[in-house]
Amino acid sequence: MAAPDPAKEARRLAAASLARDDPTGWFERLYTAAEAGEAALPWDRGTPQKLVATWAHHHRARGEGQRALVVGCGLGRDAELVVQLGYGTVAFDVSPTAISTARKRFPDSSVDYRVADLLAPPHEWIQEFDLVVESMTVQSLPEPPRANAILNVGRFVGVGGTLLVVAAARLSSNDSSAGPPWPLSRHEVDLFAASGLEPVHVQQIPDADDGAVHRWLAEFRRM
């Protein structure tokens, strides 16, 4: 029998979770099934998200003496890139199994992997970070609670700090409710600035592997 399509399996679990009014519960179910070898994670690519890696390369990002936060870090692919840039890095995910798997995958890492919920984050993280990386977390949440999640991401950025956002872009061809992912509109990308950030640039980029998919690459700063 053919292996189930990972994206379809994620949608099936998400739909069951949403029917119980629980927009995040399916992540832990999927990570647990993946850990048991019973499912595959559509986003487990083993390498950093390409746009995040390219941004870091082009900006020659160096983080010595600075702190970074990676939102919805999953299995740690972007957190491990960010820590190698020199940032003291905290990375969090709502799924305890994602966090324990990331720690097992990178046993020598100095990333501080934590279980936390973007919808109710620790108060001490507010305006605390020089770099905040949000790659593909908000797109995996429907509205509600998406707007709340977007606002909370922006609040982590300290004065002088940068927020980097990578997310699927809503196009007329994918404007449907059949997520996850639920691609972001331009208005939703602009909302990341609502806690007082300034947009540095907002770009929509066709995916290198699938031209039908476009992604937002957006950078904000707290002046």
Q: Is 179 in the site for ligand SAM (CB under 6 A)?
A: no
Strand partners of residue 68: 89, 131
**Torsions phi, psi for 142 (to 5 deg):** -80, 175
- Residue from 13, 82, 94, 164 that binds ligand SAM (CB under 6 A)? 94
Q: Is 111 in the site for ligand SAM (CB under 6 A)?
A: no
Interface with ligand SAM (CB under 6 A), residue total 20
Contact letters (x/-) for ligand SAM, 46-75, by CB under 6 A?
A: ---x----------------------xxx-
In the bound state with ligand SAM, the residue whose beta carbon lies nearer, of 27 and 156, is: 27
Q: Is 98 in the site for ligand SAM (CB under 6 A)?
A: yes
> Tokens 């934590």 sit at which residue?
114
Asked whether the beta carbons of 107 and 113 are under 8 A apart, the reply is no
- Residue from 61, 141, 168, 197 that binds ligand SAM (CB under 6 A)? 141
3-state secondary structure 108-164: CCCCEEEECCCCCCCHHHCCCEEEEEEECCHHHCCCCCHHHHHHHHHHCEEEEEEEE
Asked whether the beta carbons of 68 and 90 are under 8 A apart, the reply is yes
Asked whether the beta carbons of 41 and 31 are under 8 A apart, the reply is yes
Q: Is 43 in the site for ligand SAM (CB under 6 A)?
A: yes
In the bound state with ligand SAM, the residue whose beta carbon lies nearer, of 104 and 198, is: 104
Q: Shortest approach of ligand SAM to residue 180 CB, angstroms?
A: 7
Q: What residues make contact with ligand SAM under the rule CB under 6 A? A: 24, 27, 43, 49, 72-74, 77, 93-95, 98, 117-119, 135-137, 140-141
